[in-house]
Amino acid sequence: MANFLVGGGNKVSIKVSAIPPTDLDPGRGGQIALVGGTQSGFNISADQTDSKVFEDELGFAFGIVTGQSWDVPWTANLTTSDEGHQIVKRAAIEATNGRKVGITVQVKNNANTVISELKGVAIVTNYSEDYPADGILTYNCTFTGYGSPELDGIVGSQPS
């Protein structure tokens, strides 16, 4: 599996699969590693609405969570033989047709033990390719969560 190193010798890998399956993903039944990764991460956000309560003697507001979202930013060096990249690019182009990707992000330590894992379904957003004069072609995108992710074995509800 393709990995890239992060602080402390830890390794990050990202795998994707096409949803629904395409000719780029013929009968694999599994995920394909993205290669050339240079930067990634994981974000969870909560939307909040303030609620005034009269029980707080100083009048401070209590926040009510009205929604949550998650995303995985991705930057990689572009290689023409990267099958995973082709799945991502097609999902970006066909997002309005309902094309999504299954995504698995793993962080492993030096002993190759998984120390963090995210799994979920995502829509590919903010896709771009950069062609600088130095010849190192890169692409960027954000895997924007579709429903709840599974994070380190904690499973949320998934949309049908």
pLDDT of residue 122: 95
Respond yes or no on whether the N-terminal peptide bond of residue 20 is cis (omega within 30° of 0): yes
pLDDT digit string, tens, across residues 27-60: 455 788 888 888 888 898 988 888 776 677 777 7
Q: What is the dihedral of CA 51, 55, 56, 61, to 10 degrees?
A: 0
Domains along the chain?
Answer: 4-155 (2.30.110)
Helices marked H in the chain:
83-93
The pTM (predicted TM-score) of the whole model is 0.81
Taking the chain (160 residues) in runs of 10, the rounded mean pLDDT of each run is 60 85 58 86 87 72 85 87 87 92 89 88 95 85 93 64
3-state helix, strand, coil in the chain (%, to 5): 10, 50, 40
Six token digits for residue 98? 């309902």
pLDDT of residue 70: 94
Contact in structure between 9 and 74 (CB atoms under 8 Å): no
pLDDT of residue 19: 84
pLDDT of residue 75: 92
